[in-house]
Amino acid sequence: MTIHIGINNLRRHAESTNAAVREAVDRVLGSGWYILGRENDALEEEFASFCGANHCVGVANGTDAIELGLRALSVERGSRVVTVANAGYYTLTALSAIGAVPVFADVDETSRLMSIDHLGEIIAQGGIDAVVITHLFGLLHDMDAILRITEPAGVPVFEDCAQAHGASRTGRRAGSFGAAASFSFYPTKNLGALGDAGAVVTQSDDTARKVRQLRQYGWKSKYEVESPHARNSRLDEIQAAILRSKLPSLNDWNTRRREIATRYSTEIHHPRVSCPPVYGEEYVAHLYVIACDDRQSLRAHLSAMGIGTDVHYPIPDYRQLPLVGSFADFALPVTEKLAHRILTLPCYPELQDEEISHIIDSINRW
Ligand SMILES: *Cc1c(COP(=O)(O)O)cnc(C)c1O
């Protein structure tokens, strides 16, 4: 039998969740109510409680969640927002829609998360309106260290948790630290819908109220508009019900993902491949990303062994077409270096032990 291990396998995920998802969909079909109803309300309550936050507001996708969440924190045209450049242009899409100006910080070579030192330098220079922290690949950043820098300067921190559902440090989960946080429930995320879906999470009553207005025409109450710059970004009842049916399994899935990542980090021994450290609960292994000095050759070798890989992400944001020229003399050495070296291995709960062994052996024999 020829081996084929995809970078993801949503078909297996669908099989393992089939019964619960069908029940959820049936419930919505029978209810006669399809957008922002009881399922959404229940998901908002359950997911807020999962995150350890006071509020969750369901929206249409994770990018809207960043945009509407930042708008609720008073980020507007011309605002200067610190972000990293290695996270797939999602935050940049939101900033562009707002007309806010990105200020890029470099990343740490091991964690691949925003460099605390560089953030400190940028904040010290002043003129910053907000910071977006992306818990990339499922690794919750050291939020205490971040907040020690931003709080004295009065700069709000927004957490992009699209890859970090359930990651925790000292008992606190991703999304509970910042002024507000965004989640995506895109099908491949650690908690995924069967279509687009997202949420904003916050401890603040006022921020939650603003996002509720921004997701629905700026309505304060039905047909009475209060907020400018609003839109239609609502969550479907079917997606909310599906997410509710999966939420009770999320911790187990995250544990399995972490187990796979730990096997990779302890069993891959190749002089030219560097693996992330073995992490604890702060890592939910959304993506397992190694670094290698000859990525092309390793990718081709793994492909010949029937193993799918991907690169997250090959082009730093400031090199993407819409920004070319705007940051010409900008140098982020670690971001640049990693973009050429990183490679993502398959890492999802439905991966089987023999498949993981095959991937490890294939790398070790490269
Ligand atoms: C997936 C993702 C998003 C965007 O979410 P969508 O639901 O696709 O809009 C934002 N940030 C990060 C880090 C992501 O991985």
pLDDT tens digits for 88-125?
A: 999 999 999 999 999 999 999 999 999 999 999 999 99
**What are the φ and ψ backbone dihedral angles of 343, each rounded to 5 degrees?**
-150, 130
78 pLDDT more than 80? yes
- Res 191 pLDDT > 90: yes
Catalytic-role residue among 189, 210, 246, 337: 189
CA of 272 to the centre of ligand 1 (A): 31
- Residue 187 per-residue DSSP state: T
The token pair at 66 is 């960043």
Residues contacting residue 202 through CB under 8 Å, at least 6 positions apart: 53, 54, 55, 57, 69, 72, 179, 180, 181, 208, 211
Q: Is the CB of 62 under 6 A from ligand 1?
A: yes
Rounded to the nearest whole angstrom, what is the distance from the C-alpha of residue 146 to the centroid of ligand 1?
22
Decide whether any atom of ligand 1 lies within 6 Å of the 86 Cβ.
no
DSSP 139: B
- How far apart are the CA of 162 and the centre of ligand 1, in A? 5
Instruction: Give which of 277, 261, 285 is closest to 165, Cα–Cα.
Output: 285
Nearest Cα residue to atom 12 of ligand 1: 162
CB-CB contact of 267 with 155 (8 Å): no
- CA angle, residues 143, 149, 150, in degrees to nearest 5: 85
Q: What is the pLDDT of residues 165-182, one digit of tens each?
A: 999 999 999 999 999 999
Q: For the chain, give the number of residues.
A: 366
Q: Select from 166, 18, 158 the least CA-distant residue to 83.
A: 158
Check if 222 is active-site.
no
Mutate to test the pocket of ligand 1, among 140, 141, 186, 317 (most ligand atoms within 8 A of CB): 186
158: Cβ below 6 Å to ligand 1? Answer: no
Q: How far is CA 149 from the centre of its chain?
A: 23
Percent of the chain with pLDDT over 90: 97
Q: How far apart are CA 353 and CA 21, in angstroms?
A: 26
Structure confidence at residue 328 as a pLDDT band (50, 70, 90):
low
The C-alpha atoms of residue 179 and residue 88 are separated, in whole angstroms, by 23
Q: Is the CB of 160 under 6 A from ligand 1?
A: yes
How high is the mean pLDDT of the chain? 97
* Residue of minimum CA distance from atom 10 in ligand 1: 90
What pLDDT shows up at residue 330? 63
Q: Which two tokens stand for residue 14?
A: 């669908």
| Cα 271 to averaged position of ligand 1 atoms, centre (Å) | 33
- Cα dihedral angle (286, 86, 76, 125), rounded to 10 degrees? 120
Domains within the chain, CATH numbers bracketed: 10-248 (3.40.640.10), 249-364 (3.90.1150.10)
Residues 84, 102: Cα–Cα separation, whole Å:
9
> How far apart are the CA of 251 and the centre of ligand 1, in A?
20
Is the CB of 288 within 6 Å of ligand 1?
no
What average pLDDT does this structure show over 221-237?
97
CA nearest neighbour of 82 among 173, 137, 184, 153:
153
The answer to whether the CB of 313 is under 6 A from ligand 1 is no
Q: Distance of CA 341 to CAs 52, 255, 291, Å? A: 36, 27, 5
Is 134 touching ligand 1 by the criterion CB < 6 Å? Answer: yes
Band of residue 50 on the pLDDT scale cut at 50, 70, 90: very high
Which residue type is seen at 163?
Q
* Residue 324 pLDDT: 85
